[in-house]
């Protein structure tokens, strides 16, 4: 399974990859290889981190067409969405990515992650809101593992806030799933 987290510098995009990768490889018994886009192309504008997840050893370390794409900026959406695998999942912050829509068999879920983080009192935890949402929608990683991965990767003084942000995103994701299942049933 290939996953890409994307957005702009300073949003904690690399952290998203680190937390998820650490959760999977240290606590969920999976192999997760994280690479990141660094260098000139990562300065200022679009920034991304990539995870390759496998129950066997990861051989090819990069991703080509991810199954999951998380977008936290307009630019990253425009840049990376065309690579999303057909049938893949697109997760966006609905306030930061406008006009996002599914294409072909891709499925899209959106969340006002920044707004939720602001409600919690600090915009900076929007990446944790997004991670909670991601965990709920994709089910590739357990919530327990994600929580265990946080110490050391978020400042200890704001650990609780980060956990809360994760929970809020997770709940939002569960509801969104329930909602979409209903609408799918309705379609059937």
Partner 1 sequence: MKKTKADPKGVLTGAHYLDGDYAIAEGGLAAGCRFFAGYPITPSTETAERFVERIPYVGGVFIQMEDELASITALIGAAWAGKKAMTVTSGPGFSLMMENLGLACMMEVPLVIANVQRGGPSTGLPTYVGQQDMMQAKWGSHGDYEIIALSPDSPQECFDLTVDAFNLSETYRVPVLLMTDECVGHMYEKVVIPPADEIEVVERKWYDGPKDEYLPYKPDEDLVPFMIKAGDGYRFHTTGLTHDERGYPVINAECQNVCVPHLVEKIRQNADKIIRFEEEETDGADVVVVSYGITSRVAIPAVQKAREVGIKVGTLRLITVWPFPEKRIKELAGKIKAFVVPEINYGQVVYEVERCAYGQAPAIHVPHCGGWVHDPEDIFKAIKGAVK
Residues that bind partner 1 (CB under 8 A): 17-18, 21-22, 25-26, 31-36, 38-40, 57-62, 149
Q: How far is the CB of 34 from partner 1 (least distance, A)?
A: 4
Secondary structure letter of residue 41 according to DSSP: G
Helix/strand/coil for 58: coil
Q: How far is the CB of 145 from partner 1 (least distance, A)?
A: 12
Q: For the residues of 128-176, what is the DSSP string, one character each?
A: HHHHHHHHHHH-SS-HHHHHHH-BTTB-GGGHHHHHHHHHHHHHHHHHH
Reported residue count of the chain is 188
| Token pair listed for 49 | 């981190």
| Bridge partner list, 33 | 52
**For partner 1, which is the closer residue by CB, 44 or 61?**
61
**For partner 1, which is the closer residue by CB, 17 or 66?**
17
Q: How far is the CB of 57 from partner 1 (least distance, A)?
A: 8
Q: How far is the CB of 166 from partner 1 (least distance, A)?
A: 18
**For partner 1, which is the closer residue by CB, 36 or 180?**
36
Q: Are 71 and 7 in contact (CB under 8 A)?
A: yes
**For partner 1, which is the closer residue by CB, 60 or 98?**
60
């Amino acid at each position: 399974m290939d996953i890409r987290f994307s957005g702009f510098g300073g949003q904690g995009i690399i952290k998203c990859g680190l937390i998820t990768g650490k959760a999977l490889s240290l606590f969920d018994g999976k192999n997760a290889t994280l690479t990141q886009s660094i260098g000139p192309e990562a300065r200022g504008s679009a920034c991304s981190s990539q995870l390759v997840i496998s129950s066997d050893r990861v051989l090819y370390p990069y991703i080509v067409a991810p199954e999951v794409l998380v977008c936290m900026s307009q630019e990253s959406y425009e840049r990376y969405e065309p690579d999303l695998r057909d049938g893949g999942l697109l997760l966006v912050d609905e306030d930061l990515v406008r006009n996002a829509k599914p294409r072909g068999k891709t499925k899209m879920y959106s969340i006002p992650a920044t707004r939720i983080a602001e409600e919690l009192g600090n915009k900076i935890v929007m990446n944790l809101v997004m991670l909670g949402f991601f965990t709920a929608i994709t089910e590739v990683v357990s919530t327990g593992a994600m929580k265990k991965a946080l110490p050391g990767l978020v400042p200890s003084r704001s650990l609780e806030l980060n956990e809360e942000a994760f929970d809020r995103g997770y709940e939002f994701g569960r509801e969104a799933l329930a909602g979409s299942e209903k609408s799918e049933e309705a379609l059937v």
